[in-house]
Chain A
Amino acid sequence: MRMHHGKTTAAVVMVSALALAGCSGGGDSSGAPGAAACEPSNGPVELTYTAWVPGMDQVVELWNEENPDIQVTVQTGPNGNAGTYRNFFNQLQAGNAPDLGQIEYDALPNFRVQDGLENIAACEGIAEASDQFIDWTWSQVTFGEEDAVYAVPQDSGPMAMFYRADLFEQAGIEVPTTWEEYAAAADQIRGEGGYIHNFQRADVNWFAGLVWQAGGQWFSSEDDGWEVNLTGEESMQVAEYWQGLLEDDLVSTVPSFSDEWNASISQGEQWTWVSAVWGTRHLQSAAPDSAGKWAVAPMPQWEEGQSAASNWGGSTTAVLKGSDHPYEASQFALWLNTDPEALALANELGGLYPAATAGADLEAFSGKSDFFGGQVVYDVFAEATQNVDPEFTWGPTMTQTYTDVSDGFGEASQVNQPSWRPSSALNSKPLSR
């Protein structure tokens, strides 16, 4: 049974961004908007940069060779949500945060409301760099504020649909281009003994990506705070769509990124995966046997003829509050994320798909991929990047939101119970800090 919720329950969560900013301990908080002056320091400068992209130290080595007066030390830790963000907040409180930190787009608002970021808009070349980056990534780092740049976009995760070209062809099923066709194909695929997709209940940001594509918004920043609304029209549309697939047993429900899931992929049980650009690497390692059988197509659309895409993942390089050298730090961040040589190395070693528009021209993205049957897969992703809605904003309570929604999915995920219910998961938990 499907429930239809006409009323939208919006929860105003943040008391006030400014009030919170006033509470946080780190650095000097000049409450007024607009960037402070950003002047170079005298003499040699040493910067620290905390990130978890593998091989980042080698990328930074390039910078250190060219800039003897601005030496950067890379410190590597666990993923942001696995501990590094918590550490950043602790360090901001203690006043010993690194000069620069890697922060994902969905975590950036949390740092902003807790006043953990330096506004680097006045630093040389930063504000002018806006046209060097993919539109939607730039709107993430400015929060729509005037004279404000709080981080430099690093990488992005444009989404598309991986699919088993061989299986679709054998079964004579058309590769779906709309979500309607996708649901129909799901039915046929179930008849063939496979699943069209796996419902990734722990990956709420995957689900958010689907809502993003549908034009939904979870957060909006108002004058007096943040508004959170998980049950807008588009969110409910997406939730009910997947709920339908779940109820009809057309999607599998194994934990994502688990051995079980990898096995399911390599056994050919998973026919499609709507995922981000970094999924190319994951598929190749999870299912090396299926090389040559995969292909990539744009995400299915809600309305025929559209070309809306979405994004899953991606980071920024932020100058953290209290840095003694915001000018040098901002120059490094800009170089790191726009210099072709740095971008190429970060892609090679860390698998980053650059947020800089020039990144699409990298040699690594121009070749045909044998794993994907000779397709130039990155063309699909480069196009997807252009079709990501720049209006989507993340909120300051993402960690909490992810936990709440994932718990909601989890409660609904008892197999053989008629309550597989992403939509009620979105409804059940009002957000709270």
Chain B
Amino acid sequence: MSTPTVPLSTAEKIHSRGPRESVMSRAAAMLIMGVFTLYFLTPIWWLLVTSTKAGGEITRTAPLWFTPNSISTFFANLIELFQYQDGLFIKWLANSALYAGAGALLGTIIAAMCGYALAKYEFKRREIIFNVVLSGVLVPATALALPLFLIFSEVNLTNTYWAVFLPSLVSPFGVYLARIYAAASVPDELLEAARLDGAGELRTFFTVSTRLMAPALVTIFLFQFVAIWNNFFLPLIMLRDQALFPVTLGLYAWNSQISQIPELRTYVIIGAFVSIVPLIIAFLGLQRFWSSGLSAGSVK
């Protein structure tokens, strides 16, 4: 990241390092990024700090700093949270993991196959199909929740795992990204070679193409995982049995009862903190794939 010491011609600069930035503009960029980082991290910091406080301390102590017995209170809160109503919160976490984990995995495979087919096979009305899928990106999931509820009611599937799981498998954006990425990264020659060697289309897809598309698939997976984990409106409408709730809906239900049961406030706060931990892990773990996949999609 150091500025070059040897003067370069204009053409060389553009090719090798991009346009040279002034110190001022870099400082301004850093400042803006710093402000945004602070803006986004402060609520998380508050959440972390507040989850180390007992009920009354939340209002009495400094909002952004710990109390002397923070660590023990944090674990006490955590244990209480996990024990409240026979471990209901653990159940919710498991549900979220199932909805988001399995949903994102299957959803990614479906989106990848669909996008790959649209990119690599010639067939009639291919572009129309692609455009229809693409228009699905524009329809907010919230708008579909009520129609989905009525459809699921027809087949008696409301208030079941399937009611949340099945709609989560669909990802128009995933199809879009998979198509773009497959077109760019899977050479036709390679597929020809695989066919000549006698591999079936499915085998080619799973053994050759998915490896080449891996960065895009990780991106789709992460997108889907986060979308399903944070999905709230669909479970709210579909589910009545709180044993089926994902963690978002469960926390919301608790939060709506704080005025009746004040001790829930502590559980909602520490529960919210616990519920973002899996997202942080998923992001940190898959970060490097994520960024390369994103740029691949955007350049095209």
A52: chain B residues at CB < 8 Å are: 253, 256-257
Which residue from chain B places its CB closest to the CB of A75 in the assembled complex? B240
Residue of B55, B159, B252, B261 near A82 (CB, 8 A) is: B252
Which residue from chain A places its CB closest to the CB of B241 in the assembled complex? A75
Cα distance A267–B259 in the bound complex, in angstroms: 20
With A77-B242, A77-B253, A266-B60 given, is the CB distance from A96 to B262 under 8 Å?
A: no
Q: Do B260 and A286 touch across chains, with their CB atoms under 8 A apart? A: no
**B-facing residues in A347-369 (Cβ within 8 Å):** 350-351
Q: Do B59 and A79 touch across chains, with their CB atoms under 8 A apart? A: no
Q: Do A77 and B240 touch across chains, with their CB atoms under 8 A apart? A: yes
Which residue from chain B places its CB closest to the CB of A90 in the assembled complex? B149
Cα distance A165–B59 in the bound complex, in angstroms: 22
Cα distance A78–B241 in the bound complex, in angstroms: 11
Q: Do B257 and A94 touch across chains, with their CB atoms under 8 A apart? A: no
Cα distance A98–B159 in the bound complex, in angstroms: 11
A93: chain B residues at CB < 8 Å are: 150
Residue of B58, B156, B253, B256 near A259 (CB, 8 A) is: B58
A77: chain B residues at CB < 8 Å are: 240, 242, 253
Residue of B159, B258, B261 near A257 (CB, 8 A) is: B258
Residue of B55, B156, B256, B258 near A288 (CB, 8 A) is: B55
- Shortest beta-carbon distance, B257 to chain A, in Å? 6
B258: chain A residues at CB < 8 Å are: 257
Which residue from chain A places its CB closest to the CB of B158 in the assembled complex? A96
Q: Do B59 and A281 touch across chains, with their CB atoms under 8 A apart? A: no
The proximity string for A residues 75-86 relative to B, scoring 1 for CB distances below 8 Å and 0 otherwise, is 111110011001
Q: Do B55 and A54 touch across chains, with their CB atoms under 8 A apart? A: no
Which residue from chain A places its CB closest to the CB of B252 in the assembled complex? A78
**A-facing residues in B159-181 (Cβ within 8 Å):** 159
**B-facing residues in A47-88 (Cβ within 8 Å):** 48, 50, 52-54, 75-79, 82-83, 86-87
Q: Do A78 and B256 touch across chains, with their CB atoms under 8 A apart? A: yes
B55: chain A residues at CB < 8 Å are: 285, 288
With A54-B260, A87-B236 given, is the CB distance from A76 to B149 under 8 Å?
A: no
Q: Do B252 and A351 touch across chains, with their CB atoms under 8 A apart? A: no
- Shortest beta-carbon distance, A100 to chain B, in Å? 12
A285: chain B residues at CB < 8 Å are: 55-56, 262-263, 265
Q: Do A266 and B257 touch across chains, with their CB atoms under 8 A apart? A: no
* CB of A129 closer than 8 Å to a CB of B: no
Q: Do B240 and A94 touch across chains, with their CB atoms under 8 A apart? A: no
Cα distance A269–B259 in the bound complex, in angstroms: 20
* CB of B137 closer than 8 Å to a CB of A: no
A95: chain B residues at CB < 8 Å are: 153
Report the contact-size class of chain B (Cβ under 8 Å from the partner): 20 to 34
- Shortest beta-carbon distance, B110 to chain A, in Å? 27
Which residue from chain B places its CB closest to the CB of A278 in the assembled complex? B260
* CB of B237 closer than 8 Å to a CB of A: yes
B153: chain A residues at CB < 8 Å are: 91, 94-96
Residue of B60, B236, B262, B265 near A78 (CB, 8 A) is: B236
A91: chain B residues at CB < 8 Å are: 153, 158
How many inter-chain residue pairs (CB < 8 Å) link A and B? 89
Which residue from chain B places its CB closest to the CB of A285 in the assembled complex? B262
* CB of B146 closer than 8 Å to a CB of A: yes
A263: chain B residues at CB < 8 Å are: 59-60
* CB of A289 closer than 8 Å to a CB of B: yes
Cα distance A77–B252 in the bound complex, in angstroms: 9
Cα distance A94–B237 in the bound complex, in angstroms: 12
Most buried by B among A50, A94, A98, A282: A94
- Shortest beta-carbon distance, B238 to chain A, in Å? 9
Cα distance A288–B153 in the bound complex, in angstroms: 47
Q: Do B158 and A54 touch across chains, with their CB atoms under 8 A apart? A: no
Cα distance A86–B253 in the bound complex, in angstroms: 14
A87: chain B residues at CB < 8 Å are: 236-237, 240
Q: Do A289 and B262 touch across chains, with their CB atoms under 8 A apart? A: no
Cα distance A286–B154 in the bound complex, in angstroms: 46
- Shortest beta-carbon distance, A57 to chain B, in Å? 9
Cα distance A285–B56 in the bound complex, in angstroms: 7
Q: Do A266 and B56 touch across chains, with their CB atoms under 8 A apart? A: yes
With A75-B241, A90-B149, A94-B149 given, is the CB distance from A266 to B259 under 8 Å?
A: no
Cα distance A278–B60 in the bound complex, in angstroms: 23
B158: chain A residues at CB < 8 Å are: 91, 94, 96
B240: chain A residues at CB < 8 Å are: 48, 50, 75, 77, 87, 98
Q: Do B56 and A289 touch across chains, with their CB atoms under 8 A apart? A: yes
**A-facing residues in B239-293 (Cβ within 8 Å):** 240-242, 249, 252-253, 256-263, 265
Most buried by B among A54, A263, A351: A54
- Shortest beta-carbon distance, B253 to chain A, in Å? 4
* CB of A419 closer than 8 Å to a CB of B: no
**A-facing residues in B109-140 (Cβ within 8 Å):** none
Most buried by A among B59, B237, B242, B261: B59
Which residue from chain B places its CB closest to the CB of A203 in the assembled complex? B259
Cα distance A75–B149 in the bound complex, in angstroms: 18
B150: chain A residues at CB < 8 Å are: 90, 93-94
A142: chain B residues at CB < 8 Å are: none
- Shortest beta-carbon distance, B73 to chain A, in Å? 15
Which residue from chain B places its CB closest to the CB of A288 in the assembled complex? B56
The proximity string for A residues 255-293 relative to B, scoring 1 for CB distances below 8 Å and 0 otherwise, is 001010011001000000000001001101111110000
Which residue from chain A places its CB closest to the CB of B152 in the assembled complex? A94
A266: chain B residues at CB < 8 Å are: 56, 59-60
A86: chain B residues at CB < 8 Å are: 237
B60: chain A residues at CB < 8 Å are: 263, 266, 289
A-B pairs with beta carbons under 8 Å apart, 28 shown: A52-B253, A52-B256, A54-B257, A75-B159, A77-B240, A77-B242, A78-B236, A78-B249, A78-B256, A79-B253, A79-B256, A79-B257, A82-B256, A83-B256, A87-B236, A87-B240, A94-B158, A96-B153, A257-B258, A266-B56, A281-B260, A281-B262, A285-B55, A285-B56, A285-B265, A287-B56, A289-B60, A351-B261
Give 4 closest A-B pairs by Cβ, nearest first.
Answer: A285-B262, A94-B153, A79-B256, A82-B256
Which chain B residues have a beta carbon within 8 Å of chain A's beta carbons? 55-56, 58-60, 146, 149-150, 153-154, 156, 158-159, 236-237, 240-242, 249, 252-253, 256-263, 265
Q: A87-B236, A96-B158, A285-B262 are in contact. List 12 more A-B contacts (CB 8 A).
A: A53-B260, A75-B159, A78-B249, A78-B256, A79-B256, A82-B253, A90-B149, A94-B149, A96-B156, A98-B240, A259-B58, A281-B260
